[in-house]
Structures are given as structure tokens and as C-alpha cells.
Amino acid sequence: MSAWNADNARHLLARCLFGYTRADLAKALSYNSADAFVSAELLASLPQPAPPNPWVTETPVANDSNTGIRYAELTTWWLNRMLTEGTSMREKMVLFWHNHFVSDRAKVNYPQHMFKQNALFRQHAFGDFRQFVKDVTIDPAMLIYLDGRQNNKNAPNENYARELLELFTLGIGNYTETDIKQAAMALTGWRVNGLDVAFNKANFADVSKTFLGKTGNFSYTDIVDIIFTKDAAAEFVCRKLYKEFIFYKPNEAFVKQMADVFRKANYNIGAALRFMLTADEFYKPEYRGAKIKNPVELTVGSLKYLDIRRPDLAYIADVSRTLQQYIFYPPNVAGWPGQRDWISSNTYPARGGFSDSLVNGRRANGQNLSFKVVPLDYARSYKSSEDAQQFVSDVMQQMLTISPAASQQKLLLDTLLDGTIAANWSTNTPMADVRIQKFLKALMRLPEYQLT
């Protein structure tokens, strides 16, 4: 692949994490190659994190008055996982899978089930995709969300079977309506039982089915195994990974190469990711800054860039929701479409209002926040803090994936200097903190700050 240097490391971190700190960059560059860093850090096997609260193991109760509170707690817990992820891309993959195997809190009324699904995504983040699909198929949240618990031999429900083929594994054009109907029969018999699931053989369609050209008395595991005999399965998943991490318009030749690696690795997700993240294709200059940050990348990433370590995560959750990414509540079964859909006449100004709030410590309505960047401390954390031009350059390099035009760079410097000359700049001069605040606000309101 391309040389392992600071520019490539920044690009890799920006795509694989929710923003990154200068310490994260230093750690990445302590490795002698992208392959070494990807294997040892980004794809590292980690233990499951401690759950947010013992309630996650309690049997769900209908009409529980604590549901809203618990979903809020679950959301801030996950955001904290993203903020404290270090140099593992596991949480980025958990969000990717949340947007792939979609369920939402409106229909899955029990936060215990959504926590269990979130843990399943974390467990399989880099693992065996074929087994992952089998486990998702009988996951309680999924059985509720796509009506699998209502699927029985006398009235097969096709909702999950359809999305299994269309959105989760093969894509449109690689199956027929008959395949959906036959798969639905093979998926019958499963029910949600408290925190877990149970198979009721009396509700299973115990008959021969013909699916994707094969015939037998298939169960759900057979259906998944048959799906993965089709080349389209590997290509479908690899194309989606490519669109998320490289570019929204896939290079089909590279997708086929990646899919071949995926199949030969027996559908190991980590193997496909390692191939993608160490390939020359990933580091092509034209892909840098070509992805619009999703709201979670923007909010959590901004905290990292500004070295804010104890934020009010309920506020971050509220902002993300305002910016149209409501965690645990994707808009529909297809998930958040991303890219240009993140930007509108409402969300773009709100993004600027959010970054302003981190600098001035106030919400858009004027209410004070419990946290904000400390301007002098932040500036002095850079070795270049007393050299205005170098300081501006260093902060831009840290916070922007692509450099703005020379005129914009000059405007940022002029904003920091605020009428004085560069030779007179010092963090010890009166109003230096206010000037730093103005500079940070201006930088984070650049269009380039919305890109990664």
C-alpha cells in the first residue's frame, strides 16, 4: 500500500473512529505500517464492556414506566463507548451493523432487547458473518421488529425473509418472490420469551421447501447457509462496507476483489476489513474529505478534537437527534441513507450551532452547558501555541481532513490575531482566550469541517 505516514494515518483514523485525538495519531504512527496498526489496534479483540445498569438482565415488563429513562441511559452509555473507544474501530462497526440489521426503539419497546442486540453487534463486529446472520435471525429485537415472532406455519409472515434477502445479504435481483415465501416458511416457529427466544416446533412449517434452487425441509440455519453459497452475498456486504468507509460510489472491480478475500476467509468480517483498510484503494487522494460526517461522527468527534473529556452525553444525544441521527431509532428498515441526506437547510445551521456550543458553553437557546473547551489550556496543549501561523496550521491539520482554500486559511489566522500582527501574538496577551474561541468557532463552521 501507500507509505505509512501522518497523512495516511489521519485518513484511516478519521474513517474508522468517531474522530481521533492527537494521542491516537501518535499511537498509530508508532507502528511501522498500516497493516500492523490495523491488526493490532483497529481490529483488536476486546472484552464486552460492562453494561449500563443491572436492569439489562431484568425480564421485560409491558407498559414499564421506566422505558424512556432506560433508553436514554442506554443511548448515553453507547455514546460513551464511542467517546472512549481508543484506537479500536469496534464501536464504529457496531453503529454500522445497527444501520444494517435495523431495529428501532419504537417497535422494540423493551430496552433490554435493544441492549442485547447492541451486544450481539459488538460480539460479531469482526467475526463470522454467516453465523452473525444466523444469530440476528433469532435475536429477540429482530423477531419483534420484523414480526418473526408472528411467523407460523398456518400464516407465514414474510417481513423478515424479505429483508434478509433484500437488505441483509443478497440485494434486489438475486432472489425471487417464491424464494421469499419459501424462506418465510423455514423461519417459522420462533417466539420471544422474556429476555430470550424459544422454538415451538408445533408452529414450524415441517414440510419441504425450495429455496434458491435447493430443496429440503429447511430451517433458518439452512436458509442462511444456502444464501452464502451465492457469490452475491459476499459482494453485497463488501459493497456496503466500501460505501461506508471508502466512497459512496463503489469501485466494482475492487468490491469483487474484496468479496473474494471475504469468501476465502470463510466470511470473516475482520479479514475483509483488513484487506480494505490496507489497500491502495482506501488511500487514494480523491476519496479524502469525500464523506459527510454523520451526526455521531460530528458530535463525538468534536469532543475528541477539542479534548473535552467529561461532556454531558445527554446533550450530545439530543444534538444527534436534532441532526437526524436518533440512536436506536433509524428512520426505517433500510436505515439512515447518509451522505447528502445529512445536510439540509435545517441541519447545516444546527451543526454550526453545535460546534459553537462546545466553544462558548451555551446551548442554542442560551442555557449554559456543564462543559466547554478551555481555550487557553487547549491552545497551550499545542507546542506551536505561541506561533500564530503555525498554531493555526497545526489545528487545521488536526481537525480538517482536507485543507481549505488559502483565502480561508488567511481568514482563520486573521480571526485569531483579531487586528494585531502575528509577531505580537501570545496566549498571555489580554483577550487571547476570546480570540482562540473566535478562531475555533470559525474553523468548525467551515464546510470542510463537515467532511471526513
Report the alpha-carbon distance of residue 154 to residue 450 in Å, rounded.
Answer: 51
Q: Span 346-357, mean pLDDT?
A: 98
Q: Span 50-74, mean pLDDT?
A: 95
Q: What is the mean pLDDT of the chain?
A: 97
Percentages helix, strand, coil for the chain (3-state, rounded to 5) are: 55, 5, 40
Q: Which residues pair with 215 in a beta bridge?
A: 210
What residue type is assigned to position 240 of the chain?
A: K
The helix or strand, by DSSP H or E, that contains position 146, with its residue range, turns out to be none
Q: Where are the alpha helices (DSSP H) in 150-208?
A: 159-163, 177-186
Q: Is the pLDDT of residue 2 over 80?
A: no
Minimal CA–CA distance to 222: which of 235, 232, 212?
Answer: 212
Q: Which residues contact 377 (CB under 8 A, 6 or more apart)?
A: none
Give the SS3 label for residue 129. Answer: helix
Q: 212-226 pLDDT, tens per residue?
A: 999 999 999 999 999
> What per-residue confidence (pLDDT) applies to 1?
60
CA quadruple 298, 396, 24, 338: dihedral positive or negative?
positive
**Residue pointed to by grid coordinates 442462511:** 224
Give the SS3 label for residue 128. Answer: strand
| pTM beyond 0.85 | yes
Q: Span 41-51, mean pLDDT?
A: 96
Q: Is the pLDDT of residue 51 over 80?
A: yes
Minimal CA–CA distance to 385: which of 443, 436, 309, 440?
Answer: 436
In the chain, what are the domain boundaries?
A: 143-220, 295-360, 375-450
Report the alpha-carbon distance of residue 335 to residue 342 in Å, rounded.
Answer: 13
Report the first-to-last Cα separation within the chain, whole angstroms.
Answer: 20
Burial of 444 (0-12, 13-18, 19+ CB in 10 A): buried
C-beta of residue 292 within 8 angstroms of C-beta of residue 342 = yes
Report the alpha-carbon distance of residue 199 to residue 304 in Å, rounded.
Answer: 45
What residue type is assigned to position 23 of the chain?
A: A
Task: Compute and round to an integer the Cα radius of gyration of the chain.
Answer: 24
Q: Span 228-233, mean pLDDT?
A: 98
> What per-residue confidence (pLDDT) applies to 41?
98
Q: 303-313 pLDDT, tens per residue?
A: 999 999 999 99
Q: Which residues contact 194 (CB under 8 A, 6 or more apart)?
A: 59, 60
What percent of the chain clears pLDDT 70, i.e. is strictly above it?
Answer: 100
Report the alpha-carbon distance of residue 7 to residue 25 in Å, rounded.
Answer: 10
> What per-residue confidence (pLDDT) applies to 306?
98
What residue type is assigned to position 269 of the chain?
A: I
Report the alpha-carbon distance of residue 101 to residue 220 in Å, rounded.
Answer: 16
